[in-house]
Amino acid sequence: MLRKIGVVGAGTMGRGIAQVAATYGHDVILYDASDSVTNQARDFLLRILNRLAEKGRMTDIQAKEIFGRIRFSSSLSAYADCDIVIEAIVEKLDIKQAVFSKLEEVVRHDCILASNTSSLSIASLAGGCAIPSRVLGIHFFNPAPLMKLVEVIPAIQTEDEVTRESMKLVRSWDKTVVKVKDTPGFIVNRVARPFYGEALRILEEGIADVATIDWAMVEIGGFRMGPFTLMDYIGNDVNYAVTESVFQAFYHDPRYKPAFTQKRLVEAGWLGRKTGHGYYDYSEDAQKLLPEKNEEKGNAIVRRIVTMLVNEAADAVFWNIATPEDIDLAMTRGVNYPKGLLAWADDLGIEKCVHEMDRLYHTYREDRYRCSPLLRQMAQTGRIFYK
């Protein structure tokens, strides 16, 4: 039984994971190399728990008990008797490896070491450890207390029991857990790339502007946010970095090629909401961008982006990244898609999806638009993903 939880990194993700673990009765140690970040996390957690009590989501006593279960530490030595330590720091492999190396000098030999990385190789992290068999990925989505999905990623070195115990722990926190193969981007950050990338491609071609593409994906496609609104919300620096990471990790596969448009916004410091300007201007006197509400154009935009998403999801099944059920769960629970992409493929018709991919390929003659072999095989044999 994993009882005592360590969290490395007191930023947005780290403090969110600490809140989740403490809410479900665990003693938690939260550490950050920066005292100011630790203090900010302490103030934030106290404030958010008090606010939840004020709203009636919990009692004052429960809020105090949850906060009381979180111990803030300025030293990694505090993790000496932890059962599992979850790292949630900057997305840089060398920095994470250095932290894991320091942790191994402190923790027990049976303590599980987990990384909240969204796209880095778990095998690389484990490979730098003295006991690689206890290392795996446990990827939460932001905000961790609210988002239901957690991707659990065993490396090739990870012991099965470590994976089982970790999945059992996260499920006990009322999370939806999907087991994922250790490949770039895992499920969500891989399968979701066309939502951003193809929207940017449509913009760069001059087919439609930012507001029109967002309107189409929300009003016709049923997504909660359009791709440009979402990129501004995530931060263009963060979104671009993930795209570039996946692109490089897949040996520069053109399907994941970053867009110059987003690169230029990052270079200009137009990162989205957090800087007041991104694809949209968030200043008080900004003129609102109005979409061209042309249904024919809107339907074409949705068909193109959704088909690219379906193709990516099908390819993830083809390469045994995860099961169709886990992929659809990941996309609906992890990024709030209106429907599982493979269920969506069944509804659209597998043959129509293949036809749309072939149409795009014949138009552009780019490998970016190659149809997944699985979709083509299914169209030829009349199979669907779900009965």
| 299 is an active site residue | no
Distance in angstroms (rounded) separating the CA atoms of residues 113 and 201: 39
Q: Is the sign of the CA dihedral 170, 174, 175, 176 positive or negative? A: positive
| 139 is an active site residue | yes
**Annotated catalytic residue: which of 119, 121, 166, 189?**
189
Strand duo 149-154 + 135-140: pairing:
antiparallel
Distance in angstroms (rounded) separating the CA atoms of residues 67 and 70: 6
User: How far, in whole angstroms, is CA 52 from its chain's centroid?
Assistant: 25
Token pair of 255, please?
A: 């399907």
Please tell me whether residue 303 adopts helix, strand or coil conformation: helix
| 239 is an active site residue | no
- Whole-angstrom Cα Rg for the chain: 22
Strand duo 84-87 + 149-154: pairing:
unpaired
Q: Is the sign of the CA dihedral 119, 301, 317, 386 positive or negative? A: positive
- Count of helix runs (H) and strand runs (E) in the chain: 17, 8
Q: What is the DSSP letter of 288?
A: P
Long-range CB pairs of 38-43, under 8 A, 24+ apart, other chains included: 38/10, 38/72, 38/74, 40/10, 41/10, 41/11, 41/14, 41/15, 41/72, 42/72
**Annotated catalytic residue: which of 116, 139, 311, 372?**
139
| 87 is an active site residue | no
**Annotated catalytic residue: which of 116, 119, 121, 151?**
151
Distance in angstroms (rounded) separating the CA atoms of residues 116 and 106: 20
Distance in angstroms (rounded) separating the CA atoms of residues 158 and 126: 8
List residues with catalytic annotation. 118, 139, 151, 189
